[in-house]
Structure 1
Amino acid sequence: MKMFYAHSTPDTSKQDWQLLSEHLSEVGRLAKKFAAVFGCGVENLADISGLLHDLGKYTDEFQRRLTGETLRVDHATAGAKLVVEKYQSLGYLLAYAIAGHHAGLANGVNGVNRTSLEDRLKSETYKLSEVWRSELNIPEQLPLPTRFHARQNRNFFQLAFLTRMLFSCLVDADFLDTEAFYLQAEGESNSRGEYPSLADLKPELDSFLSGFKDEGKPVNRRRREILQTVRCNAELDPGLFSLTVPTGGGKTLASLAFALDHALMHKLERVIYVIPFTSIVEQNAAVFRQALGKRGEGAVLEHHSAFIEDRSKDPEAREKLKLAMENWDAPIVVTTAVQFFESLFADRPSRCRKLHNIANSAVILDEAQTLPLKLLKPCVAALDELALNYRTSIVLCTATQPALHECDNVEDSFVGGFRNVRELAPNPEQLYRDFKRVSVRHIGVLDDEALTSMLLERKQALCIVNNRRHAKAVFESIRSEPGARHLSTLMCAKHRSQVLAQIRKDLKQGKPCRLVSTSLIEAGVDIDFPTVLRAEAGLDSIAQAAGRCNREGMLPADECEVLVFNPANEDWAPPVELEQFASVSRGVMRHHADPLSLAAIEDYFQHLYWRKEKELDAHDLLGLIASAGIKGLPFETLSSKFRLIESQQMPVIIPFDDIARKGLDALDYAEGCVGISRCLQPYIVQIPQVAYQALFDAGAIVAKAEERFEQQFVYLANMDLYDKECGLSWDNPTFIRAEKQVW
């Protein structure tokens, strides 16, 4: 019988070539193993997709290609055709995955940049050898799932989600088996290494948390009580949870402790911490590494868009990092909302191969209220589906819990929202009263002169405004005064850390400290001012600002104020969406004596979602899926339209100090750059593409070692554009033009 091969080596005797039947069997086995953790009985579907994904290699043409002939052979369509012919409608679920295992998931009909599945199934393919029938054991009937839970009015969404999950199992299994073959053929061992288990991490975390002392602060005692209660709830069955704790109540470590305990009790495989802002991914990852002790460094994977991908000549280091970031096989993953949610709606193999590792995990959604309104319904549907059918525990972690519950009373319900969400915190209403440390009031319209005066009247005050230009203008008005400070995302993280360290020192010593910042200060920054001035924004943002006021509760609440104001200068008018948030906040503040009470927060979100009902799925993605039918699922269209951030941000490295400069210099001779990438990460500023191009054209930014790394390491060559107090400056005329277009 003729031998058929999946992969070849330079050995023309074919002694070490990989047999096709062995590759297909192993990919099927791995895919089945990955899908088995879903808990909804779909593992046999994954097995079939693995067995048939390379069916088109059972052709003379593909075998000739392996020997070096320059033939182009479509080896994926044959398997897709077979499952549709054999299994009819549900066979399409496997056909999408099989046909797209290299190129990506296509639309069922009307392809965009990729040939649709409909057209692939109509296309001519090379004749298959009958050998496949004796080498592959394919069931006559499609083994239907037995434990899959249907959600009313969401049938096709669930099928599309399942298809993408099966696709994830298939492409990861295919990648891993192919890689293992080539490593063995080259005489190399698989050097991926082993991660510590969650069981290994638990004693380290227990030891770290036991070291916290009250230090005479009532707030510390309450934090410890919250932690104990949350950990006791770890025995609850997997599903949907909320953790509603006021800012400063210790949510970060409490949620990590719950997730770790919960995962161990229910045999979940990892903890995934999803953070809304790239600027604090590293901060939280560092906290977790410290909390997990000696094993923390090897247990925590950071994955976010700002991380510089390694394109070095060190293939082992490059591939190890690439695999870890692509398939999330670490016990603790810290990532961004952009990376997490866009992957759940992605179509490319490299973005989708991690998805099966989200299943059977504990997912902490930090600052859950920051989910983007324009994609809120698709995001909620995806989270709900993970909890319903993929053994994923979802924790909505925030001080300002969004009103995302669906109930029988339509007027008070978020249609298509969560049901049976269990609260982990002990009595959130009582917690709010216990942690009440400030009073909040609206002080009307303020021009910049009045705002400056209010800042200067106070020895220590924080002012938060809604855009970087306003922050710069207010700071310039007080720059010469004692203790004037500025923070924005145009400062690299290293610079911001230094400024924050000095601010904390000045506050502690009672020195003058007047900080003007954008909303980045609200993203988990541990800082404590007696007064906060906040430009109008959403009530959740105001609550976050309040978390920077009297944070440790050392002063009476009536002596510490959060003063909300409406900027008079039209130049600082917020974007339309932010103005809508502010408008809803104004209405809620008029009707609630305490605008930060849980009742006020719920009222705010209910009004916000009611006002923007049609905008909660701005591209009608759920509608597209519902109307598509199983043969027309629009995977490519979904991926192109599901974008949490519309404008592309580009990283620029700031040679801020000797460490950054030495790291850049090392790129000229280093064999690998994984370590250098991590070293340079705190020196990155993200800027919009139009500004990036303007600076590049002006020669203000330059690619380092471009012949080796292309434009992967672009740094600021003209440091005159980096202000020592404000960061990357827009005073340069070239920069001003870009600034006006996008900022």
Structure 2
Amino acid sequence: MSELQRLRAKSPRAGFPQGEALTEHLSETLIGAQRLHDRVGSIHALPARFWLWVKIAALLHDTGKVLEGFQAMLTAARGPGWGQRHEVYSLGFVADLLAKWPPEEQSWVALGVVTHHRPLIGPAGWAILPTYMEPDAQAFAARFGRVDPVASAQLRAWLARVLTAAHLVEDIPDPGVAFGEAGYRLLEQIRDQWDYDEPDLNDCLTAVLLQGAVTFADHVSSAHGQLLTSQPINSAFALRLITGMESSGKPLRQHQFDASAVSKHLLLRTPTGSGKTEAALLWAVAQVDLMRREVGGQPRVFYLLPYLASINAMADRLTAALGDGDVVGIVHSKAASYHLNRSLCAGDDLTEADAAQQAVSRTAATRLFRELVRVGTPYQLLRGALAGAACSSILIDSVNSVFILDELHAYEPRRLGMILAMIEFWTRIGGRIAIVSATLPQPLVSLLRSAVGHADLTLVETRDQPWPRRHRLVLRDAHLTSPPSLTEIEKRLRRGQSVLVVANNVAAAREIHTRLAPIARQLYGEDGALLLHSRFKTKDRATIENNIRARYGTGRPPQPGLLVATQVVEVSLDVSFDALHTSGAPLEALTQRFGRINRTAHLPPADVVVHTPEYGRRRSSADEWADGVYEREPTELTMAILAANNQAVLDEQTLGQWLDELYLSDWGRRWSQTVVHHRTQFSEGFLDFTMPFDDARNQLADSFDQLFDGVEAILEEDIGPYTDALNSADSPRAGRLLGNQYLIPLPHYGRYLGSYNKELHVIVVQGNYDPAHGLEHIHRDHRSSYQLGEII
């Protein structure tokens, strides 16, 4: 065996009992870089030789593993680690093999090599530059210990052959450079540019995408993943889609044809049920074709929705439309649970443990960017703005991509500002954007035009059909929980209606359910009264949602009964009821609630009854809130608009006009200014990528996650079953997936209501819980307890 064959990149593991050979890993990483280039295509915003730098960096990124200290660390069963960074020593191979290149180009390749694991700037012992502060090249080289000269020479010769054969480097110098000393000079060159100087903003973008590309190639190589190479949303798909629509009696409508003819960005405003998803997909087909001709590659198509359940439903819909579930990736925090549920529901002869392992593997493949069609939330892609080795691959994968943002409502200003900033960034790196909705307030349209460029955004609206008039507005001064309100709801139940009641907080929902459930169950059986809110165990919420869909799902035979819910029903279920009773809230929240009533317009306009909320302060706030949840001012403005239109018959176009009225008010103008502030703040703080290799960006990950997600906890009584679930599968990830059924979502401050179990890596709370009613109390200690109320 030659010394070169002896070198390993990875220690022994499944599939590689002898460990993975270094040359094999480097070859696979180069192949991964080439596949990424084939997928993304040319990037107009970057230097022309960008992909050349990526491929050479991919080949050379782990050459420092030739060192004996690293090789010994791979074979050592126990004992201290080596203590050095192999990617830093790899710089010597860059300096040697590219010695005839200009220093600037050597630095670009070196940057891709040295940043694929650790930040450049940060605390010593972690970040690269402060860890390697030797006064001279000799001291620097001495840190790495002995390198076998024969192995090093053989590796260098092999690299030279690959670089030449792949036409990456034409003129490679003869051997003769000391790798350690050459690497020192190149590292100091990087230090001068990225630590001491203030880099150009264009260079910052190039740098972070270079890091992302090399990291992408390395991860794909290490996981031995297979990237899909053919975009299924293509002209053949468009033909099948149109043919299928015609055969089902739904020929192409004018707005769908108009969307398919748009040459760049699209704003599509059409009523629910008018085929907006088909219009958006036909637009995507056109963009994929145009972008292939302009930049090459295989554009990724991202279908982005704000809510988990709508994501799962769209994934199912695209899977059916494409005829292959293997080509659709799911990108959200519960993706593994989605795959597990689909596997178990398919009736495959699998144990839960085997199904969980398959679900984990599929989710891991999507994390490695396997599929060219992905359904997810905007927030998962926003993580790319954190950059660093952990997130920069998200950025390179989004270059030259197609983005459909469905249900893009007027979010909380900070989140919306961040999404708008990201939309602007995606257009900068070659992306095409479609925004699809039935109702978009005009100020939001203006903000979107500003983000993508006024001249490049085409508005398409429905012109060949009336907007369905599905609802009749009714106002009540009595609070939703008051005796007159409960009496009115009871009368509807006794008349045989299906009634949706939406409270603004959990406490009110539980109170209403407790009062009315006995009546509904006496009339219509056990499932005649259901309660849904966000504080259920995962397994119990899944059971409740299945029961709701079975009884009230859109397209099913109508059945009478009662569902009491919080605003989780706005975003989680495709259901249709005969009537709504809801507490007053801002107009967009009410619009979502109205959408669950008479969804298919099979009835005359159905009653949507809005009850005046109570306003008061939270314990921790001087401001007043509607039922402890919504800001008072937009809620009061909404109620005033509704009061001026009491008894009106509604369609979504009318609701859109009311949204304009709300967002053109003084409050709305302040809202728009706040959105612009957060958009600017996010762009300047994250998306110009100044100091792209500072560890401070990594430190923002936790606070970023807190902005979009709460925390999850288990009950103390479930520690045993949770532990058994963790140990029931062959891998820790599969076990944790099975354990997820015991998790209860909580807001961020929920982490302070329990204790963190270090062995199980989960928050544990003491509380009162019932499978039909959810979490009722959290006991913080023996002297006090916390009751859910404001928490939604």
Amino acid at match of 1:272: F
Residue 328 of structure 2 aligns with which residue? 300
Residue 184 of structure 1 aligns with which residue? none
Q: How does 1:299-378 map to 2 (within 5 A)?
A: 299-308=327-336, 320-321=361-362, 323-342=364-383, 344-369=384-409, 371-378=411-418
Q: How does 1:272-671 map to 2 (within 5 A)?
A: 272-293=302-323, 295=324, 297-308=325-336, 320-321=361-362, 323-342=364-383, 344-369=384-409, 371-390=411-430, 392-403=431-442, 418-420=453-455, 422-423=457-458, 425-427=460-462, 434-440=467-473, 442-444=475-477, 446=479, 448-449=481-482, 450-459=484-493, 460=497, 461-482=499-520, 483-491=528-536, 492-504=541-553, 508-509=557-558, 511=560, 513-523=561-571, 525-557=573-605, 560-563=607-610, 565-567=612-614, 573-574=626-627, 578-586=631-639, 596-607=654-665, 610-612=669-671, 613-614=673-674, 617=677, 620-624=681-685, 629=690, 635-636=697-698, 639=701, 641-643=703-705, 645=707, 648-650=710-712, 670-671=729-730
Q: Partner of 1:440: helix, strand, or coil?
A: strand
Shift of 1:530: 3.7
Decide which structure has the larger Cα Rg and report it: 2
Q: 1:27 to 1:191 in 2, by over 3 A?
A: closer
Amino acid at match of 1:101: H
Q: Partner of 1:396: helix, strand, or coil?
A: strand
Q: Partner of 1:533: helix, strand, or coil?
A: strand
Deviations 1:188-222 (A, max 9, x none): xx778888844576676556545645xxxxxxx6x
Q: Partner of 1:273: helix, strand, or coil?
A: strand
Hey, what's the Cα distance between the residues in 1 that align with 2:640 and 2:501? 23
Q: 1:339 to 1:481 in 2, by over 3 A?
A: same
- Whether the 8 Å CA contact 2:714–2:744 is kept in 1: the answer is yes
Residue 195 of structure 2 aligns with which residue? none
Q: Partner of 1:642: helix, strand, or coil?
A: helix
Residue 267 of structure 2 aligns with which residue? 242
Hey, what's the Cα distance between the residues in 2 that align with 1:602 and 1:400? 10
Q: Partner of 2:67: helix, strand, or coil?
A: helix
Q: 1:729 to 1:53 in 2, by over 3 A?
A: same
Q: 1:405 to 1:7 in 2, by over 3 A?
A: same
Q: Quick one: which of 60, 75, 80 aligns to 2:86? A: 75
Hey, what's the Cα distance between the residues in 1 that align with 2:436 and 2:639? 25
Q: Partner of 1:497: helix, strand, or coil?
A: helix
Hey, what's the Cα distance between the residues in 2 that align with 1:586 and 1:194? 52
Hey, what's the Cα distance between the residues in 1 that align with 2:701 and 2:725? 38
Q: 1:672 to 1:470 in 2, by over 3 A?
A: same
Deviations 1:84-123 (A, max 9, x none): x9989999887765443113x566xxx4799667647866
Q: Partner of 2:613: helix, strand, or coil?
A: strand
Hey, what's the Cα distance between the residues in 1 that align with 2:51 and 2:72? 30
Once the two structures are overlaid, the 10-residue window that deviates more, 257-266 or 491-500, is 257-266
- Whether the 8 Å CA contact 2:28–2:221 is kept in 1: the answer is yes
Deviations 1:219-278 (A, max 9, x none): xx6xx655x6325532432x4222222334443454345435653565454332222122
Residue 7 of structure 1 aligns with which residue? 9
Q: 1:452 to 1:195 in 2, by over 3 A?
A: farther
Q: Structure 2, unaligned stretches of length 5 or more?
A: 172-198, 293-297, 341-351, 521-527, 619-624
Shift of 1:377: 2.7
Residue 146 of structure 1 aligns with which residue? none
Amino acid at match of 2:612: F
Hey, what's the Cα distance between the residues in 2 that align with 1:394 and 1:416? 10
- Whether the 8 Å CA contact 1:92–1:630 is kept in 2: the answer is no
Deviations 1:354-403 (A, max 9, x none): 4433333332212111544113333212212213422x322212222254
Q: 1:464 to 1:508 in 2, by over 3 A?
A: same
Hey, what's the Cα distance between the residues in 2 that align with 1:363 and 1:626? 18
Q: Partner of 2:409: helix, strand, or coil?
A: helix
Shift of 1:339: 1.8
Q: 1:120 to 1:96 in 2, by over 3 A?
A: farther
Residue 185 of structure 1 aligns with which residue? none
Q: 1:299 to 1:73 in 2, by over 3 A?
A: same
Q: 1:575 to 1:264 in 2, by over 3 A?
A: farther
Q: How does 1:147-162 map to 2 (within 5 A)?
A: 162=206
Aligned: 1:177 with 2:221? yes
Q: Partner of 2:707: helix, strand, or coil?
A: coil
Amino acid at match of 1:476: T
Q: Partner of 2:500: helix, strand, or coil?
A: strand
Q: Partner of 2:386: helix, strand, or coil?
A: coil
Hey, what's the Cα distance between the residues in 2 that align with 1:358 and 1:579? 39
Hey, what's the Cα distance between the residues in 2 that align with 1:454 and 1:506? 27
Hey, what's the Cα distance between the residues in 1 that align with 2:413 and 2:107? 32
TM-score (norm 2): 0.68
Q: Quick one: which of 82, 90, 115 aligns to 1:100? A: 115
Amino acid at match of 2:542: A
Hey, what's the Cα distance between the residues in 2 that align with 1:505 and 1:12? 53
Q: Structure 1, unaligned stretches of length 5 or more?
A: 141-154, 181-189, 214-220
Deviations 1:456-496 (A, max 9, x none): 24343322222222211222221222244322233412321
Amino acid at match of 1:650: E
Hey, what's the Cα distance between the residues in 1 that align with 2:755 and 2:585? 34
Deviations 1:607-665 (A, max 9, x none): 55531324655593334358985688764365455346355322769999xxxx99998
Once the two structures are overlaid, the 10-residue window that deviates more, 193-202 or 47-56, is 193-202
- Whether the 8 Å CA contact 2:291–2:299 is kept in 1: the answer is no
- Whether the 8 Å CA contact 1:530–1:561 is kept in 2: the answer is no
Aligned: 1:168 with 2:206? no
Hey, what's the Cα distance between the residues in 1 that align with 2:750 and 2:65? 53
CA RMSD across the alignment? 5.4
Residue 65 of structure 1 aligns with which residue? 70
Q: 1:727 to 1:264 in 2, by over 3 A?
A: farther
Q: 1:167 to 1:201 in 2, by over 3 A?
A: farther
Q: How does 1:247-258 map to 2 (within 5 A)?
A: 247-256=272-281, 258=283
- Whether the 8 Å CA contact 1:240–1:387 is kept in 2: the answer is no
Once the two structures are overlaid, the 10-residue window that deviates more, 681-690 or 265-274, is 681-690
Aligned: 1:51 with 2:86? no
Q: 1:72 to 1:54 in 2, by over 3 A?
A: farther
Hey, what's the Cα distance between the residues in 2 that align with 1:249 and 1:25? 47
Q: 1:417 to 1:589 in 2, by over 3 A?
A: farther
Hey, what's the Cα distance between the residues in 2 that align with 1:277 and 1:730? 27
TM-score (norm 1): 0.72
Percent identity of paired positions between Structure 1 and Structure 2: 14
Amino acid at match of 2:707: I
Amino acid at match of 1:598: G
Q: 1:518 to 1:106 in 2, by over 3 A?
A: farther
- Whether the 8 Å CA contact 1:463–1:515 is kept in 2: the answer is yes
